[in-house]
Structure 1
Amino acid sequence: MTDKSIDLIEDIEPVDPVTPPPDSERIRQKKILLLKLALFFMVITFLSGSLFYLYVRFAPLPDSDLNSHSRILSADGSMLADLTDNGQNRVKVPISEIPVYLQQATVAIEDAQFYNHGGFNFRGIARALYVDLKNGEIVEGGSSITQQLAKVLFLSQDRTFSRKLQEVLLTIQLETRFSKQEILENYLNAVYYGNGANGVGAAAKLYFNKPVSQLTLAESSLLAGLPKGPSIYSPFDHLDQAKARQHQVLEAMVRNGYITGQQADEAYQQPLTLSSQKNIETGAAPYFSRYAAWSALNQNGVPEDELYRGGVTLQTTIDLSMQKAAEAAVRKYLPNTPGLQTALIALDPTTGEIKAMVGGRAFEQSTLNRVLSRRQPGSSFKPFVYLTALESGITPVKMYKSEQTSFPYDKDKVYTVKNFDNIYVHDYINMREAIKRSDNVYAVSTEMEVTPQRVIQTLDRFGFATQFQPYPSLALGVFPVSPLEMARAYAALANGGTLVEPTAIRQVTNAYGREIYHRERQTRQVASPQNAFILTDLMKSVFDVGGTAARIQPDVANRIVAGKTGTTDTDAWMAGYTPNLVCVVWVGYDKDQLLGPVESRAASQIWGDFIKNALANEPAADFPRPDGLLEVNIDPTTGMIATDNCPRVEREFFRIGTEPLQECTVHKGSPIRLDKTPDTRTESSIEKIWRWFKGSNER
């Protein structure tokens, strides 16, 4: 480096580094920043709070489901019943007409801190949480009366976060806009009290047949306990549980200082005079409407309070034209005998959809739905014995002698079988003749050969709920079943052995048309298509000359029908089907009164008239024949292949491999060949020798 360079460096003055501000200045700047942030936050909070207040104070509340009705519609959309109108189940009552006892009882049992909180009972929530954790399940709710009102008026039963958030906002809105008395008044007029009654006005009328203003402490305390479980605590159905709940309400009233212990004891001991009956649906198909409502609750999972509060539509399966045909048939043929009742159930065997239902002579006189009542089915039960026989390898040409016969069973017991009016053929008959004549001896003989245990297994497959016993009389229908169970089982025979669970409801929608509950179609194969077809073909003979249903043959002359009659001393049945409709009819008395000849015939007459008119506009059709069957002409007196010399010839179906091979030896001649379906079964050596001996090249 030169001297000149050194001089230049020395001429450059050093630059001082930036001097940081003192600590006090930094603190001051931070405080200013924090103040700005706090001010900003306060402004945002104030604006948000103001907007929130304006929203909860002035934003319109959503439309309440109570403003729309819950309806039951037919398959074509026609109105069947209004679940939120029938029985006047909504009676608006001002708080001034609601007894103070009922107000106090409701607050005491539902929300003791109601008058002291702003919509959320945090003490109740904490208590409920403790109880639920202690029990390991949800046994107690902590919702306030205001929260419950929000749910009743505006919300569905969905348990989602968004629905819970809606509940919080609506609760705040209600508390902001209404006084406590207004909230309580709306709650008491909206909450569900069971059996179709919404609000205290309807509940007082329903349970005690009096205006709500006249309710006593005892009656008020009973009503106040119902909303927690309307079906559980219904005094109509569970009076003991209703009284236990009433006791809880009275204790809560004492605990909160509303009444004394002596008043509570006196109220609990006071007898309750309940009204005579529940709400009765009116309109078209009342038995079906009540069954559809039951199905919605028990099969489709619709909560009871949601169904009856409003906004729910049940789209059902009923065909109004068929329903009218059913009711007309009952009016025409049910004898006008005091106490005589009937039941009719018709359904589509391929879908299980119920098309018509009559549960009695007159719904306004008796609401008991006899379609669901169990009665002895008599001979209409025999097809399931014969199905078991077909499944066991017995064929339609099996012969048993038609005469009074005794059967030993259970080691040392004997059961003697007689035919109706002691009428016997006194000769051997085949399965077709037995079904046609309803021969009891043949049925029991068949049951004892295949064993009662196997018959019971068949019945279990078909879904019968009765506890059957392995007695010889099982074949004669001595164990009670319901017409609905019989219709389901017969439908499986009509449907190629596939059982479809009956259904009354196609769809459940809310007030906005959205499907909210759905039931999957339930099917299962309970018999082979071949055996179901053979049995169906045999059951067609019931309508032929000499058959037990021959008298109604003119009604079904243009139809291919299969069925079976059933008659006991106290019950008359007719069960049968076409390829697309099953119908079961029962006639009898509720208290097992003996039937006369005219009454015994009514079931068949009702059935025939219904089938004729219900299917008047439907084209006739035959049952589809499955693969694996041979159609063979047989001699019914021998069960062998018929020849041209046989005086009687019957056509029968057989599963390939079970058909008779021998030609009639009593009426020798040329065999009458009918079915050309190739026999794929392997021919045995003995059969080959026999065919060679006859000089025949045909199998």
Structure 2
Amino acid sequence: MGEQKTTPDHPPLNQFPVWRLIKWTYRIFCWMFIITLICSAALGVAILYLKSKPLPPPEISSSSKLYDAKGRYIGQIDEGEYREPVKLEQVPQSLIQATLAAEDKNFYHHWGFSLTGIIRAVIANLKAGHVVQGASTITQQLARNLYLTHDRTWSRKIKEAILTVQLELHYTKDEILEMYLNEIYYGHGAYGVGRAARVYFNKNVEQLNLAESAFLAGIPRGPQYYSPYFHLPRARQRQRYILDLMVRNQMITAQEAQQAKQTTLAIAEPSKPQQIRASYFRDYVIQTAVLQYGLEESVVRRGGLKIYTTLDPRMQKYAEESVKQFLGDKKDLQGALISADPHTGHIKAMVGGKDYSKSQYNRVFARRQPGSSFKPVLYLSALENGFTPLTQIISRPTAFAYEGGIYRPSNYRGQYANRPITLREAIARSDNIYAVSTLFHIGINKEIDMARKLGIKSPLRPTPSLALGSYPITPYELAQAYATIADGGIRHPLTGIRKIVDSYGKVLVENETNPIRVTSPAHSYVLTRLLTSVFDSGGTGHRVRQMFLRAAAGKTGTTDWDGWLSGFTPDLVTTVWVGYDHSRKLPHHEARLSQYIWGSYMKKATALQPARIFPVPQGVKGVYIDIETGYLATPFCKHTRLEFFVRGTEPRQTCPEHPGPVKRSGNDPSLWERFIDWWNSF
């Protein structure tokens, strides 16, 4: 038998049925199509999800800046990242191109990730032997800087990728680039190109040339490594490399690059950020912006705002020096000072304590008993209700009956004139009996009404002790009241802010004061003239004249716990308080320190102001009176004074104890009588 042949299970390849090959190809194509369709759908759903999912707002924080009354920069409102945010159109094209060449040349042509960029970076770094080029795109860097840490973990990289896609979906390329340029760190405390241009070249960003732009663009890769202050040759080498990249990417010509390489760079001297010294005033500005104008505190502190204040740095310096001079060696003794322009309400200086580093409590807003410094409120109301500078009340121990019982005020150290005294003398001596008598004469509610008109908002009760300043108010409120008197009865709300502008130049707040007339210029002026006696010999504030000789009016105030002096010149009002924080009695010799602080400060603060007297308004008449009798003075009166009255309330009868020449005959008035009539006509 011969050998039997077997048939193979599968035919040779060249004998494979064509229909089966087509069938397998079709199946593969279908599966690929289905997989592609599923992936596309999943990608579409993912994109729609990320598009609809809110992206955390990019917080490019920048410490807000304070400017003084003349618009001069005086310091940051908060320590931290120093930025000067700019718009993309402010950035020169050379800096934009240099940044793209250095960081992401295909930025405008990808969706947040660049495969070619990764390959290019790897090759460049291998050739250089160290990292000279990054693989991350600008969008990736921005996502990391805005929202993430710089940890080298897979979870962080995944989050970065997701946030990168979201940034590309939510913002335009120009918006992303603008955020990046304002966020990136350039070393030496400079965040963003605006601040970097200022730090390294002392220029606005729009003034940068090609050489400076390429130089700055090279720093973010390693702010310490390429610092011009530590490694200038290395930084220049990096600049030249970036210029070559710009030529290679056809952003500039080779000739332009060569010129830039040969350009001398004027690197600015390194400087520390200037810090504001008016720390209590700074805190007040923050609180005002938040509580009065409704801004978020985080925005006020770190929103890159420009806050234009009313502060006068020179006056602020004098205020701090004066408080420190007289309180510096007094353990635990504290003080407060607020000074303002009465014609505008603009606060020029504010000191809330003698050492901000030890206590940040601003005592300008602490409620304390004002004592006799509150009496001008009473006497202004009295002048509106029939009192004149010559109104007399007996100064002697007196008991006053009222609905709550019997009130027995006393004068300091039991000193009484035991005779009738005038309003002028009562103010100069700070007579308490006269004050309480006045309160009962005009009615308690009228003093409360006047306090409200002058700007005092603290609680006040209708009791006899109100006349003596027994209810606590703040130095800020007392300064407001005196400023209203100083401006002839017009109340300008005290303020420390003129304008607030955001980082893009939009005006958020513009303080337009609404002055209100609350009393007549005549009554305010008469009271002002009476308050000048406080600084005369025998007045409670006579010590001020040892330091300050200009025209001034004011009132002292002393309680068991507080020492006050609030006063003003024609152009500046200042209130000073001294005392202890925790219910500790204040010796009288320490209470007087408020006068020395006031006098020292006012002497320095007004040195550059023209010396002026208080201008006499309409409705006021000045006449010479006999001090002893209160009648119109004659040439034969030995003790006279020029006294001012609201027109119509001045005395009209000449002094009967010192009459002029007797008329001998006829009905015509004598020369003296004609002179008196002429004088009284004014």
**Any idea what SS the aligned residue of 2:356 has?**
coil
Shift of 1:570: 0.4
Shift of 1:308: 2.9
**Any idea what SS the aligned residue of 1:586 has?**
strand
**Any idea what SS the aligned residue of 2:282 has?**
helix
User: For residues 656 and 84 of structure 1, do their structure 2 counterparts lie closer, same or farther at Cα, with a shift above 3 Å needed?
Assistant: closer
**Any idea what SS the aligned residue of 2:564 has?**
strand
1:373 aligns with 2:366: yes
Which residue of structure 2 aligns with residue 571 of structure 1?
A: 562
Residues of 2 paired with 1:644 and 1:97: CA distance?
A: 95
Structure 1: give runs of 5+ residues left out of the alignment. 1-52, 58-62, 104-113, 120-144, 151-165, 179-189, 191-280, 672-688
Which residue of structure 2 aligns with residue 296 of structure 1?
A: 289
**Any idea what SS the aligned residue of 1:417 has?**
coil
Which residue of structure 2 aligns with residue 430 of structure 1?
A: 422
1:287 aligns with 2:275: no
Which residue of structure 2 aligns with residue 327 of structure 1?
A: 320
User: For residues 360 and 98 of structure 1, do their structure 2 counterparts lie closer, same or farther at Cα, with a shift above 3 Å needed?
Assistant: farther
1:535 corresponds, among 527, 549, 572, to: 527
Equivalent residues of 1:643, 1:667 under 8 A apart: yes
Shift of 1:306: 2.4
1:478 aligns with 2:470: yes
Shift of 1:84: 4.8
**Any idea what SS the aligned residue of 1:611 has?**
helix
1:421 aligns with 2:413: yes
Shift of 1:453: 1.1
Which residue of structure 2 aligns with residue 623 of structure 1?
A: 614
Shift of 1:401: 1.0
Equivalent residues of 2:636, 2:660 under 8 A apart: yes
2:400 corresponds, among 383, 389, 407, to: 407
Identity %: 39
Alignment length, in residue pairs? Answer: 462
**Any idea what SS the aligned residue of 2:596 has?**
helix
1:505 aligns with 2:497: yes
1:398 aligns with 2:394: no
Which residue of structure 2 aligns with residue 521 of structure 1?
A: 513
Residues of 1 paired with 2:521 and 2:456: CA distance?
A: 20
Which residue of structure 2 aligns with residue 446 of structure 1?
A: 438
User: For residues 167 and 632 of structure 1, do their structure 2 counterparts lie closer, same or farther at Cα, with a shift above 3 Å needed?
Assistant: farther
Equivalent residues of 1:65, 1:311 under 8 A apart: no
User: For residues 429 and 69 of structure 1, do their structure 2 counterparts lie closer, same or farther at Cα, with a shift above 3 Å needed?
Assistant: same
Partner amino acid for 1:396?
Answer: P
Partner amino acid for 1:617?
Answer: L
Equivalent residues of 1:335, 1:602 under 8 A apart: no
User: For residues 282 and 173 of structure 1, do their structure 2 counterparts lie closer, same or farther at Cα, with a shift above 3 Å needed?
Assistant: closer
Shift of 1:656: 1.8
Partner amino acid for 2:494?
Answer: P
1:150-549 → structure 2 map (5 Å cutoff) = 168-169=170-171, 283-334=276-327, 336-410=329-403, 413-549=405-541
Deviation digits for residues 179-223 of structure 1, max 9, x if unmatched?
Answer: xxxxxxxxxxx9xxxxxxxxxxxxxxxxxxxxxxxxxxxxxxxxx
Shift of 1:545: 0.8
**Any idea what SS the aligned residue of 1:467 has?**
coil
User: For residues 96 and 616 of structure 1, do their structure 2 counterparts lie closer, same or farther at Cα, with a shift above 3 Å needed?
Assistant: closer
Shift of 1:88: 10
Residues of 2 paired with 1:554 and 1:607: CA distance?
A: 12
Residues of 1 paired with 2:501 and 2:396: CA distance?
A: 59
Shift of 1:497: 0.4
1:115-130 → structure 2 map (5 Å cutoff) = none
Deviation digits for residues 288-317 of structure 1, max 9, x if unmatched?
Answer: 011111122223343323223332111111
CA RMSD of the aligned region, Å? 3.9
Which residue of structure 2 aligns with residue 652 of structure 1?
A: 643
Deviation digits for residues 528-553 of structure 1, max 9, x if unmatched?
Answer: 00000000011111111111111110
Equivalent residues of 1:645, 1:668 under 8 A apart: yes
User: For residues 695 and 369 of structure 1, do their structure 2 counterparts lie closer, same or farther at Cα, with a shift above 3 Å needed?
Assistant: closer
Shift of 1:499: 0.5
Residues of 1 paired with 2:390 and 2:334: CA distance?
A: 39
1:583 aligns with 2:583: no
Residues of 1 paired with 2:60 and 2:582: CA distance?
A: 42
**Any idea what SS the aligned residue of 1:556 has?**
coil
Partner amino acid for 2:317?
Answer: K
Residues of 2 paired with 1:450 and 1:597: CA distance?
A: 31
Which residue of structure 2 aligns with residue 636 of structure 1?
A: 627
Larger radius of gyration: 2
Equivalent residues of 1:577, 1:583 under 8 A apart: yes
Which residue of structure 2 aligns with residue 75 of structure 1?
A: 69
Residues of 2 paired with 1:449 and 1:350: CA distance?
A: 32
Partner amino acid for 1:553?
Answer: R
Which residue of structure 2 aligns with residue 601 of structure 1?
A: 592
Residues of 2 paired with 1:448 and 1:418: CA distance?
A: 16
**Any idea what SS the aligned residue of 2:575 has?**
strand
User: For residues 586 and 545 of structure 1, do their structure 2 counterparts lie closer, same or farther at Cα, with a shift above 3 Å needed?
Assistant: same
User: For residues 77 and 520 of structure 1, do their structure 2 counterparts lie closer, same or farther at Cα, with a shift above 3 Å needed?
Assistant: closer
Shift of 1:580: 0.9
Residues of 1 paired with 2:169 and 2:650: CA distance?
A: 71
Deviation digits for residues 637-688 of structure 1, max 9, x if unmatched?
Answer: 33221223333212211122111122223443469xxxxxxxxxxxxxxxxx
Which residue of structure 2 aligns with residue 200 of structure 1?
A: none
1:614 aligns with 2:583: no
Shift of 1:66: 2.3
1:662 corresponds, among 631, 640, 653, to: 653
Structure 2: give runs of 5+ residues left out of the alignment. 1-46, 52-56, 84-144, 181-190, 192-273
Partner amino acid for 1:356?
Answer: A
Shift of 1:81: 3.9
Residues of 1 paired with 2:415 and 2:673: CA distance?
A: 44
**Any idea what SS the aligned residue of 2:317 has?**
helix
Deviation digits for residues 551-610 of structure 1, max 9, x if unmatched?
Answer: 1103221x1101000000100000000111100000000112111233111100000000
User: For residues 64 and 311 of structure 1, do their structure 2 counterparts lie closer, same or farther at Cα, with a shift above 3 Å needed?
Assistant: farther
